[in-house]
Amino acid sequence: MQNSGKGLTEIRYTLSNGQSTELMHKAEIIHLQDVANLINKFYIAGILCGLIWFCLLGVACWYKLKPPSLTRVFMGFSGGLLLTGVIVLLIGATKVFYWLHVQIFPENHQWFFYYQDSLMTTLMKAPDIFAFIILLLVSLLMIFWGMSYWMMSELLTITKQVQTEHKKKGKK
């Protein structure tokens, strides 16, 4: 998955009689390739968002803006997270999961697999694993936001101090 889907067709296992066979059938491989392509798009979006963040941070330094308060950032993040959670609970996690798959993946590509037809689904314990993945990603997002907020606050404070010192030196 992390290698743009390369090697998915080569994943094999050995049967009890010693023969080697493919681990997944064609539809599973196609779906995992679609997921790998989606992950690549997320990487690109992340890089673009990082660049935008650095540009906005530069603008904030240039105009000597103060960072928002930690309380305000926390309330905004928590409010957005809570709203998203309530919407998912009201609609139903399964319905949201299915809707996202219909919207994201190509129409003619299978994405739903019954356990008895899919070793991939059985091994992943899908869709149960997605709750864990979401909790992990939200936790990582909170850590990342906290670190970026701290970095932004420090940089804006240092920039403001340097600019104040330059003004004092210029008046002497």
- pLDDT in the model for residue 111: 93
Residue 171: which pLDDT band, with cuts at 50, 70 and 90? low
What would the pLDDT profile of 82-123 be if each residue is shown by its tens digit?
A: 999 999 999 998 899 899 999 999 999 999 998 888 888 888
In a domain, 2, yes or no: no
Give me the mean pLDDT over the 140-149 stretch: 88
Task: Domain of residue 159: give its range.
Answer: 8-171
- pLDDT in the model for residue 172: 59
Kindly state the percentage of the chain with pLDDT values over 70.
Answer: 99
- pLDDT in the model for residue 120: 82
Task: Flag whether pLDDT at 36 surpasses 90.
Answer: yes
In a domain, 29, yes or no: yes
Alpha-helical regions (H) of 63-127: 70-91, 93-104, 119-124
In a domain, 132, yes or no: yes
Task: Flag whether pLDDT at 75 surpasses 90.
Answer: yes
Mean pLDDT over the full length of the chain: 89
In a domain, 1, yes or no: no
Task: Flag whether pLDDT at 166 surpasses 90.
Answer: no
In a domain, 167, yes or no: yes
Residues 136 and 128: their CA atoms lie apart, in Å, by: 13
Q: Which pair of structure tokens corresponds to residue 23?
A: 């681990």
Residues 3 and 133: their CA atoms lie apart, in Å, by: 19
In a domain, 3, yes or no: no
- pLDDT in the model for residue 162: 78
Burial (CB < 10 A; 0-12, 13-18, 19+), residue 164, is exposed
Query: How many domains in the chain?
Result: 1
Residue 13: which pLDDT band, with cuts at 50, 70 and 90? confident
In a domain, 63, yes or no: yes
In a domain, 69, yes or no: yes
